[in-house]
Amino acid sequence: MTAEVALALPAVVLVLAVVLVTVAAGAAQLRCADGARAGARAAAIGESPAAVRAAAQRVAGDEAHVLVQPDGRWVTVVVSTAAPGGWFTGGRLTVRGSATAWVEP
């Protein structure tokens, strides 16, 4: 019985590590999507680009990179940030979220 546990334990640890990294990356991606949505809402009501970035970073985190892309009557906000990738991805992952909103007149 001890030999079976000794052989199975590293596999269990590896699966747990993969699950934890996946959950952390998913949570970071959701924060990016929520931050982009908050930034797009701020841009839609006519806030300045600095206020849009602040709104997006307030939700996504201070380390998030925010890009505001106005396009006529529409504005797209793209938020990206680094997520922990662990040793099996070779470092960190970059996750992103974007949202587009119609700019109110």
Supply angle C-alpha 75, 105, 53, rounded to 5. Answer: 35
Name the H helices within the chain.
2-44, 49-60
Question: Is 35 in contact with 88 (CB distance < 8 Å)?
Answer: no
Cα atoms found within 13 Å of the Cα of residue 91, Cβ hemisphere only:
2
User: What is the extent of the structural domain holding 86?
Assistant: 2-102
d(CA 95, CA 85): 11
User: What domain count does the chain have?
Assistant: 1
Task: pLDDT band for 2, please (50, 70, 90 cuts).
Answer: confident
Write down the pTM of the prediction.
0.84
81: Cβ contacts below 8 Å, ≥ 6 apart: 28, 31, 32, 60, 61, 63, 64, 65, 94, 95, 96
pLDDT, tens digit (0-9, with 9 covering 90-100), for 35-72: 999 999 999 999 999 999 999 999 999 999 999 999 99
Q: Find the CATH number of the domain harbouring 30.
A: 3.30.1300
pLDDT, tens digit (0-9, with 9 covering 90-100), for 15-41: 998 898 889 889 999 999 999 999 999
